[in-house]
Structure 1
């Protein structure tokens, strides 16, 4: 009996000369991502090192980029928890204790990883698009190995969100007569805080911390309920990631314009 030769499995991947067979405008998304991230980083860097126009004494408005203000040269009243006994050099932001952790929290965020992996490192640039790198090691080597620290930065970011909430609430009790008052600046500060909480609580690490390690949901009904609510927020984590970049810029810009005297605060109740 003659045996039929079985075809041998291919030893190599299919050789495709084109970078992709996609026909849509797949370059648009990474280009917009680069422009959006670069715009925010440029603005935030400039404002953090400007060290001016960050505080409105009349209404107790403090921009999130300068909270908490720790330098001895901070504007009187802006340092709610006091300052250090020395002045910061020009290259050190007044909020040096919090800004690095907020940056690391965002930098290691699961969504932002996807954003800059694709848009900046092109690993890959888009789905079904060949990447220019010869090899892929994932997050198993330095410095990407440090992405695993995201779960710890989450807790620090949560503490900073509490601080931003305190700043927004304190400003409600500094109207014209030193009592309760509401102006447009108050609404902007409060809206920014709510959005920051939505971004922080929708974090994948938050979802895992409150319910990801449970073996039985029925034995932990409270944590299961929290995990469920966080999971709903988690589906919109990408949207909150971008929205909060815009809300931070808007909040800081409004405070800067008030502080520099360009505009006046619209008051609803004093």
Structure 2
């Protein structure tokens, strides 16, 4: 019997009969909505502080133009020469972390670049160079953005703790905004720690786990989180947007923050 190494001549782009394009469409719509909202808020430069709450888009607030914040929530490391929104000084770090994230790469490669558009679906590109050329070679900076995302998450944790104070700086108070910022920081940490780079930091170079029991337990914990990396990526993206929206509504006077105690 004669054999051939050529592939079967199938004229169809794919033989899949399901709606394989729906997840890609949903991903594109979700990302575009967040990009549109976050771009507007990042350049607005206003309504990002409602004592004691500070928007995660503007924290840490590094510019001298930041509104005065009680409790040291502003850091003022950049002088008056910065004329743009203070958010642009800090958003580059979480943006770089998410933009180079392994899950988000898959998400926007498929939904925006159709590379590939789906499993068992031929992509429309004639050539494939992967992430070996500019600008995609910059995706290799992901591990360094992880190192920068950790201190940002730590600052957001500090902001969440300040949410247990009232506008005058007294501790032992909590409002709806306190819960919003607290839920956001929990999801931010869960997403950050579920990162593949975090797993590598904890156990990627170990040859004998038995000699490093603490790091091994941490590696196992991060591995469990990593299995939910996609869900945590979307949950934390939604939570950071909602946290900013909540602070914006309170700061702009749309409604008063409900107090629990």
TM-score range, shorter chain: over 0.9
TM-score under structure 1 normalisation? 0.91
Instruction: Tell me if 1:141 matches 2:133.
Output: yes
Residues 162-241 of structure 1 correspond to what in structure 2 (within 5 A)? 162-174=154-166, 178-241=170-233
Please state how far the C-alpha of 1:69 moved relative to its aligned partner.
1.6
Structure-2 residue corresponding to 1:249: 241
Which digits, 9 at most, give the CA deviation of each residue in 1:91-140, with x for residues without a partner? Answer: x3303332112111101000000001100010110100010001211111
Instruction: Tell me if 1:261 matches 2:253.
Output: yes
Please state how far the C-alpha of 1:192 moved relative to its aligned partner.
0.1
Q: Residue 14 of structure 1: SS of its match in structure 2?
A: coil
C-alpha distance in 2 between matches for 1:248 and 1:81? 19
Q: Residue 75 of structure 2: SS of its match in structure 1?
A: coil
Structure 2 unmatched runs, 5+: none
Structure-2 residue corresponding to 1:15: 9
- Kindly indicate whether the alpha-carbon contact (under 8 Å) linking 1:69 and 1:95 is maintained by their aligned counterparts in 2: yes
Instruction: Tell me if 1:72 matches 2:64.
Output: yes
C-alpha distance in 1 between matches for 2:108 and 2:67? 36
Indicate how the Cα distance of structure 1 residues 73 and 81 shifts in structure 2: closer, same or farther if over 3 A, else same.
closer
C-alpha distance in 2 between matches for 1:217 and 1:96? 42
What is the count of residue pairs matched by the alignment? 259
Which digits, 9 at most, give the CA deviation of each residue in 1:163-222, with x for residues without a partner? Answer: 110111122133567232011100100100000000000001101110122111111111
Please state how far the C-alpha of 1:267 moved relative to its aligned partner.
0.6
Please state how far the C-alpha of 1:241 moved relative to its aligned partner.
0.5
- Kindly indicate whether the alpha-carbon contact (under 8 Å) linking 2:59 and 2:74 is maintained by their aligned counterparts in 1: no
Indicate how the Cα distance of structure 1 residues 65 and 177 shifts in structure 2: closer, same or farther if over 3 A, else same.
closer
Indicate how the Cα distance of structure 1 residues 232 and 107 shifts in structure 2: closer, same or farther if over 3 A, else same.
same
Residues 41-52 of structure 1 correspond to what in structure 2 (within 5 A)? 41-52=35-46
C-alpha distance in 2 between matches for 1:74 and 1:176? 19
Instruction: Tell me if 1:32 matches 2:26.
Output: yes
Which digits, 9 at most, give the CA deviation of each residue in 1:207-250, with x for residues without a partner? Answer: 11101221111111111100000000000000011111110111
Which digits, 9 at most, give the CA deviation of each residue in 1:60-90, with x for residues without a partner? Answer: 100000112222222112662432330532x
Q: Residue 260 of structure 2: SS of its match in structure 1?
A: strand
- Kindly indicate whether the alpha-carbon contact (under 8 Å) linking 1:175 and 1:182 is maintained by their aligned counterparts in 2: no
Structure 1 unmatched runs, 5+: 1-5
Q: Residue 14 of structure 2: SS of its match in structure 1?
A: coil
- Kindly indicate whether the alpha-carbon contact (under 8 Å) linking 2:57 and 2:244 is maintained by their aligned counterparts in 1: yes
Instruction: Tell me if 1:102 matches 2:91.
Output: no
